[in-house]
Structure 1
Amino acid sequence: MFNEYKSRQSKKHSNVLKLERHSQVEPPKVAGAQTDPIDVDLQGHLELKSRLHGALLDRLNLSVIDKVERSELKRQIAALASNLIEVEGVHMRSDAFSTLVEELMHEVMGLGPLEPLLADPSINDILVNSYDQVFVERFGLLERTKARFRDERHLLRIIDKIVTKVGRRIDESQPWVDARLEDGSRVNAIIRPCSVDGPALSIRKFSRNPLTMKRLVDQNALDDQAASLLKALVEARLNILISGGTGSGKTTMLNAVSSFIDESQRIVTIEDAAELQLQQEHVVRLETRPPNAEGQGVISQRDLVRNALRMRPDRIIVGEVRGAECFDMLQAMNTGHDGSMTTVHANTARDALSRVEQMVTMLGVDLPIKTIRSQISSAIHIVIQLSRLSDGSRRVISVSEITGMEDDTITLQDIFVYKRRGKSSDGTILGDFLPTGIRPKCFDQLVVAGIDIDPKMFMRKEVRP
């Protein structure tokens, strides 16, 4: 059977398996239950799979593996696995054998034990604490899975497989790395000596169906009135800072808000690891580059922000500001690139402004605090604060407007806020997203921009009992 397949493909490429060593391999004969099957424990199963994987690598023709149909590859792997299992004297039930073959496919074509987790649409994050501890976040809550790696070397091999595909590296001289999967999922990995208990891996999965503003409203992240205000703010080209803690949904909100940008405008995005899902056609995506093995060639976000200013952008979107690039971002917002957006880690809107101020001071230039705050107050118009609540839900906590300066203090006023009412018997947080009764200072700017917005949406409402 294999020789017939090889003959059919000889005009295009050689067989995926190097069959000169095993030309007589027969398809698996495990369709029925074996007599007195020997159950293989978990560690034994992992060791068996590791040996089979090593044998497969010896026989795989990696240069043509991508050209072979998955079904044919699976058939060949099953046949070889059956032969090797028979040599080892291991008996397996047909369902266990099918599972083993599927896992070998994951090892050869994908990321091993992580593949089923990546395929599960209900999982948002995959968190590998060590080779034998794999957690996931599902619906905002953490749970441990049965997935595990054979040992540290197995986990290291998967990490290396991820980072090399995007031209990055991880070793003792550079023991952590930010990368991404082919579908855009964000990856962070860290190894010894910085990770005391062995390699750790975090994957923030890329949503195949981006969360639109409508879906965020349906999930009660905010209400219709706040969503319509955000749409108006984007159309009026006000600069927006999205703030929140880790996992609060900053990138999701940035994607949703940026969907309101006009198709005719040129957008330049800047990220450490590209993960934004902008739907517009005229988008240029820029990504930082870490240093090479010699410590050279690093390209920082600040380099990319400065370069973006020469690319005739209508809007600049920075995935997240973390350092001195914040100063260049403020300069861009103040010099004609209205409608730019970025995110920052902070627990409140006021803290977000303090974080921006601290990042500007990281530039090393001796600027007076009042000058820095003046730059911030004139560059940023709106702060959207997000939070992940104790029940796992992600909410917009406030939409605030920067109104200027009073002495040395940046003045901030809330337009919409999330008011908590308590917790239900099943642990769900109860609350309402309400206007504060303050009409934003930028309302007149929205009217001048020709945006139809109802002033009644800002009228104060009482919290339901």
Structure 2
Amino acid sequence: MTLLERLGRPSQLNVQVRIFASRTSETIDNSYQKLKRKIHQRIVAEMTPDEQHILSTKNQDVHAIEQVIDTYVQKVIDSNPFSMPRGDRSRIISEIRDDMLGLGPIESLLKDDSVTEIMVNGSQKIFVERMGKLTLTDIRFHNDDHLMNIIERILSPLGRRIDESSPLVDARLDDGSRVNIIIPPLSLIGPVVTIRKFSRTPLTLDNLINFGTLDRRMAKFLQLCINARINILVSGGTGSGKTTTLNALSSFVSPNERIVTIEDAAELQLQQPHVVTLESRPPNIEGSGQITIRDLVRNALRMRPDRIIVGEVRSEEALDMLQAMNTGHDGSLTTAHANSPRDALSRLETMVMMAGFDLPIRAIREQISSAIDLIIHQGRIKDGSRKVTHITEVQHIEGDIITTQDLFYYEMTGIDENGKAQGVFRATGLLPNFLEKFSANGIELPGDIFQNSDISQGVF
């Protein structure tokens, strides 16, 4: 009987070849992981005081650390010359360094500027977002215990804990990236870690124009709105780029103003000289000591701010934010989750009701309509790109309804052969009712900015 006859038909042969290749790959991978563990164990067991100092010093010398690890790699190779495939030496050194000092397998993703989000779904599935698209990587943790060790490394410096009695936590990495962690029994697939990457260099409106998030005319209008101290709410879904847009807008605030920023996890990167950055605090291990966004907004009013910037309103702090906007803190900015500008107003109503005051719905809507001047709504298009889909003015109360009017909007026209969204940004031609604020602040609004024609291409 021939080999093909023993293996069966071609399709069966292909299946068996794939199975053999998969098992061979698993065997190689297991051997590789065993080798890494052996080197790691030897470092822990034989490390000298001088080597320990190199590995534990605050300002770590990467080259010196890799030299220490390389010494132990050589010791393992000397005792078993065939334990390491040729060419894997530098790879194993960097991986052990990341396991010992960084965040293990995902350290390389944190250093990759093209990655905007890292999603760890248990130890064996790690997804990343690049250019708005999710992809499954070939990176894995050894097991759930390995992943939990990395989670402890994230939380320990922050004085936070996670266990079965407190199985979810929000945290922030040293570079400012936001981290959400949830573990069993709430997660049924093992520990889940979601990291929203922190941009090392803040994006400007020019960057957003180049990305196609908005056009130059809309950007010029928004710049002038900041100068004219218009109160702005940036709305949108999760991951739509609200904070990025808020950060870009804040760059136009005068350096002579005192700005107080309030966030759950500090992400804003304001370049002005007079910025006070406040960050909320969760309860400690005993369940006390919590400082909420609402506490910080109230305190900010006593700090003589020219503007208050709240990273995101989610709950009852919306009432305090609206009151701040209505009591002389013009030009304040915030963000909120919503599916449309109209939905953003409805969500604000709901959040104000959560403050615990029995306010009539009309009184709440009057607060909103007098506080918020402009809504910038941002969304994610089918191709993963982010667009400012509406710039909408909040006008006044008619009956019991808050009236609004769109000033600019994005019109999607189709999808090209590469799967990229095609569309245009349009002005409605309507003029906002808050033009008196422009005059009061000495800001001149170009007469053709609300017409569907290009304006100067100058850099802001």
Q: TM-score, normalised by structure 2?
A: 0.89
Check the 8 A contact 1:437/1:461 in 2, yes or no.
no
Identity %: 50
Counterpart of 1:45, as a letter, is Y
* 1:289 match: 281
Unaligned ranges ≥5, structure 1:
1-37
1:175 counterpart = 2:172: no
Match of 1:330 among 315, 322, 328: 322
Match of 2:384 among 383, 392, 408: 392
Check the 8 A contact 2:390/2:409 in 1, yes or no.
yes
* 2:347 match: 355
Counterpart of 1:313, as a letter, is P
Give the secondary-structure state (helix, strand or coil) at the position aligned to 2:448. helix
Aligned-residue CA RMSD (Å): 1.9
Residues 405-416 of structure 1 mapped to structure 2, 5 A cutoff: 405-416=397-408
Q: CA deviation at 1:47?
A: 3.5
* 1:194 match: 186
Give the secondary-structure state (helix, strand or coil) at the position aligned to 2:117. strand
- Determine the C-alpha separation between the residues in 1 that align with 2:243 and 2:77: 47
1:317 counterpart = 2:320: no
TM-superposition CA deviations, 1:390-435 (whole Å, max 9, x none): 1011000010011111011111110000011111111111111110
Structure-2 change in CA distance of 1:59 and 1:446 (3 Å): farther
Give the secondary-structure state (helix, strand or coil) at the position aligned to 2:363. helix
Number of residue pairs matched by the alignment:
425
TM-superposition CA deviations, 1:224-262 (whole Å, max 9, x none): 111111111111111110000011000100000111100
- Determine the C-alpha separation between the residues in 2 that align with 1:382 and 1:354: 15
Match of 2:149 among 157, 161, 169: 157
- Determine the C-alpha separation between the residues in 1 that align with 2:158 and 2:276: 18
- Determine the C-alpha separation between the residues in 1 that align with 2:193 and 2:26: 31
Counterpart of 1:100, as a letter, is I
Check the 8 A contact 1:178/1:272 in 2, yes or no.
no
Match of 1:56 among 39, 43, 55: 43
Unaligned ranges ≥5, structure 2:
1-24, 455-460
Counterpart of 1:236, as a letter, is A
- Determine the C-alpha separation between the residues in 1 that align with 2:141 and 2:307: 44
Check the 8 A contact 2:172/2:178 in 1, yes or no.
yes
* 1:243 match: 235
- Determine the C-alpha separation between the residues in 2 that align with 1:343 and 1:330: 12
Structure-2 change in CA distance of 1:51 and 1:334 (3 Å): farther
Q: CA deviation at 1:460?
A: 5.0
* 1:432 match: 424
Residues 66-465 of structure 1 mapped to structure 2, 5 A cutoff: 66=57, 69-87=61-79, 91-459=83-451
Counterpart of 2:374, as a letter, is I
* 2:29 match: 42
Give the secondary-structure state (helix, strand or coil) at the position aligned to 1:77. helix
Q: CA deviation at 1:40?
A: 6.0
Check the 8 A contact 1:239/1:381 in 2, yes or no.
yes
Structure-2 change in CA distance of 1:44 and 1:453 (3 Å): same
Structure-2 change in CA distance of 1:310 and 1:88 (3 Å): farther
Counterpart of 2:315, as a letter, is G
Structure-2 change in CA distance of 1:72 and 1:290 (3 Å): same
Counterpart of 1:183, as a letter, is D
Give the secondary-structure state (helix, strand or coil) at the position aligned to 2:88. helix
TM-superposition CA deviations, 1:359-398 (whole Å, max 9, x none): 1111121111111111011111100000011101100001
Check the 8 A contact 2:114/2:130 in 1, yes or no.
yes
Counterpart of 1:155, as a letter, is L
- Determine the C-alpha separation between the residues in 1 that align with 2:147 and 2:232: 40
- Determine the C-alpha separation between the residues in 2 that align with 1:223 and 1:77: 51
Give the secondary-structure state (helix, strand or coil) at the position aligned to 2:324. helix
Counterpart of 1:49, as a letter, is K
- Determine the C-alpha separation between the residues in 2 that align with 1:134 and 1:339: 41
Counterpart of 2:308, as a letter, is I
- Determine the C-alpha separation between the residues in 1 that align with 2:45 and 2:348: 53
- Determine the C-alpha separation between the residues in 2 that align with 1:306 and 1:89: 66
Check the 8 A contact 2:116/2:129 in 1, yes or no.
yes
Q: TM-score, normalised by structure 1?
A: 0.88
Structure-2 change in CA distance of 1:368 and 1:88 (3 Å): farther
TM-superposition CA deviations, 1:137-177 (whole Å, max 9, x none): 11110111111100111111111111222332222222111
